[in-house]
């Protein structure tokens, strides 16, 4: 398992991309789309292509540029899907890379999945008793098996029947020999959007992936919607019962790229407003405002705008360190922080500093950064966090630690401040967070990691603190 260099950040499972076009190089466009979605997963990448009779998939461990260094799938087709992964169910292994490709009585299916199923364990046990053989330890393979075993006549009906049995968070792009299908779960936990590219169509986790291939954002795929694209055009179908919409609020806080638009809300605008609201709530004064790059930068700019305190670069991020230093063992995490971030002594020396970050998970890295700034001469470091304290794990596609490792689950704010060594610590309130996201109704988002309100319930197998390796 690989971690963000800061080791204190929530990590999202993956990004998905799909394209249907008779006029474009679908493999190349998918490659570009995955580049734009690289922030959603850095463990593995893959592309599957079909020409209507054959399917070819190319997958591997590493970043998009590493996996396809020797070239893209050779098959010239009209449909392609792609995937970048960070594991939340199953280990980081070559066998768990996506898209998955299976052959069944009706032909071929390739599938890429973003999210986490809360009943995958029960479904897999039932399928194994019926004779299914699994090749991976990812919950996505459960979905493929359900589709392949369905007795329904059309692929659309097979998928819809399968979706009635799964619970949790899922955005899917599915490819058959002649159709590209996009699916978003009835709660809409994860984002999925639809774009137009000339005479073709594009489906992607975020609108930034549409931008890079020159596609126009048409709309977001709705919760509980299945979009089917073929030579006959595009059709939309509803499946399942209408559930409470619950888009993950961390898409706006941290996961999504700032230049994306999700469910009609600019991510950049939401983060900027979070910074402004945090400034109003904290009432702090200092010499400069800095961010922990890059995820805290937009909120820091909002904080600076609201207070009039100048924004400065107090921390520089080294963008050229490879994955060698991004390992989960604590010693390597410590080295990773030093290799990736360095304080700008000229900027921080003799200054009182407001340092803005998007979240604190374990607290270990925040403490190292505070010490780094003070060693560089900062006279005071006030830490401001543009989200509420994370006290509960996520079961819907985020790789959080078990609850006992979440610092806010066991410590109060003052205790956290003492642990990280900051002169003061201020979190954005939950009400302030809701006010910052102006284009999405506050009751249409999931805040479970803050308030333990799980819209789709919790997995049965949580006694050990999580179910990431439940199939191993």
Q: Identify the CA nearest to 260 among candidates 203, 319, 191, 197.
A: 191
Helices of type H across 191-247: 207-213
Instruction: Find out whether 177 and 108 touch, Cβ atoms under 8 Å.
Output: yes
For residue 421 the two structure tokens come to: 């060594």
| Backbone angles phi and psi of 242, in degrees to 5 | -75, 120
Residue 171, marked binder? no
Q: Identify the CA nearest to 69 among candidates 57, 77, 60, 78.
A: 60
Residue 357, marked binder? yes
| Backbone angles phi and psi of 103, in degrees to 5 | -115, 130
Residue 449, marked binder? yes
Q: Identify the CA nearest to 274 among candidates 122, 107, 430, 119.
A: 430
- DSSP reduced 3-state for 266: strand
Which residues are CB-contacts of 162 (< 8 A; sequence separation ≥ 6)?
143, 146, 147, 150
**Which of 14, 193, 208, 384 is labelled catalytic?**
14
Cα R_g (the chain), whole angstroms: 22
- DSSP reduced 3-state for 196: strand
Centre a 10 Å sphere on the Cβ of residue 27 and count the other Cβ atoms it contains: 23
Distance CA 220, CA 448 (A): 23
The verdict on whether 384 is a catalytic residue reads no
Q: Are strands 352-357 and 380-385 parallel, antiparallel or unpaired?
A: parallel
Which residues are CB-contacts of 386 (< 8 A; sequence separation ≥ 6)?
253, 271, 274, 275, 278, 296, 299, 356, 357, 358, 359, 428
Distance CA 182, CA 172 (A): 6
**With 0-12 CB in 10 A as exposed, 13-18 as middle and 19+ as buried, what is 53?**
exposed
Instruction: Find out whether 190 and 250 touch, Cβ atoms under 8 Å.
Output: no
Phi-psi region of 181 (alpha: psi -120 to 50; beta: other; left: phi over 0): beta
Q: What is the signed CA dihedral for 157, 162, 164, 167, rounded to 10 degrees? A: -150
Centre a 10 Å sphere on the Cβ of residue 94 and count the other Cβ atoms it contains: 10
Annotated binding site for [4Fe-4S] cluster: 248, 394, 446, 449
Annotated binding site: 248, 295, 357-358, 394, 446, 449
Residues labelled as active-site residues = 14
Annotated binding site for Mg(2+): 295, 357-358
């Amino acid at each position: 398992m690989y971690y963000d260099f800061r080791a204190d950040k929530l990590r999202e499972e993956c990004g998905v991309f799909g394209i249907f076009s008779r006029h474009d190089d679908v493999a190349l466009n998918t490659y570009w789309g995955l580049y734009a979605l690289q922030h959603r997963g850095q463990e593995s990448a893959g592309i599957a292509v079909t020409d209507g009779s054959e399917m070819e998939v190319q997958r591997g461990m590493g970043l998009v540029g590493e996996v396809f260094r020797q070239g893209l799938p050779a098959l010239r087709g009209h449909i392609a899907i792609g995937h970048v992964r960070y594991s939340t169910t199953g280990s980081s292994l070559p066998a768990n890379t996506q898209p998955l490709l299976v052959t069944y009585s009706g032909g071929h299916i390739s599938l890429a999945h973003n999210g986490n199923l809360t009943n995958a364990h029960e479904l897999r046990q039932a399928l194994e008793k019926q004779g299914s053989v699994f090749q991976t330890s990812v919950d996505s393979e459960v979905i493929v098996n359900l589709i392949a075993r369905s007795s329904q006549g059309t692929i659309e009906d097979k998928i819809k029947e399968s979706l009635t049995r799964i619970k949790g968070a899922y955005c899917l792009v599915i490819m058959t020999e002649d159709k590209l299908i996009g699916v978003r779960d009835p709660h809409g936990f994860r984002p999925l959007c639809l774009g137009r590219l000339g005479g073709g169509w594009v489906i992607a986790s975020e609108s930034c992936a549409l931008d890079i291939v020159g596609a126009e954002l048409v709309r977001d795929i709705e919760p509980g919607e299945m979009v089917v694209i073929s030579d006959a055009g595009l059709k939309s179908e509803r499946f399942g019962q209408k559930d409470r919409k619950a888009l993950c609020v961390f898409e706006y806080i941290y996961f999504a790229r700032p230049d994306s638009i999700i469910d009609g809300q600019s991510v950049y605008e939401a983060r900027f407003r979070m910074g402004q609201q945090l400034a109003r709530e904290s009432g702090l004064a200092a010499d400069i405002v800095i961010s922990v790059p890059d995820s805290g930068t937009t909120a820091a700019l909002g904080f600076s705008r609201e207070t009039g305190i100048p924004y400065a670069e107090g921390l520089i991020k080294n963008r050229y360190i490879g994955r060698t230093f991004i390992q989960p063992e604590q010693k390597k995490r410590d080295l990773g922080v030093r290799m990736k971030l360095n304080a700008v002594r000229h900027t921080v020396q003799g200054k009182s500093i407001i340092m803005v970050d998007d979240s604190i998970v374990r607290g270990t890295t925040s403490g190292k950064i505070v010490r780094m700034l003070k060693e560089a001469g900062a006279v005071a470091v006030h830490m401001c966090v543009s989200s509420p304290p994370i006290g509960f794990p996520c079961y819907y596609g985020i790789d959080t630690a078990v609850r006992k490792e979440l610092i806010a689950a066991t410590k109060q704010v003052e205790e956290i401040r003492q642990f990280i060594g900051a002169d003061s610590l201020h979190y954005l309130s939950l009400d302030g967070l809701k006010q910052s996201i102006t284009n999405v109704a506050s009751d249409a988002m999931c805040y479970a990691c803050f308030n333990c309100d799980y819209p789709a319930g919790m997995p049965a197998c949580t006694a050990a603190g999580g179910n990431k390796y439940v199939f191993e």
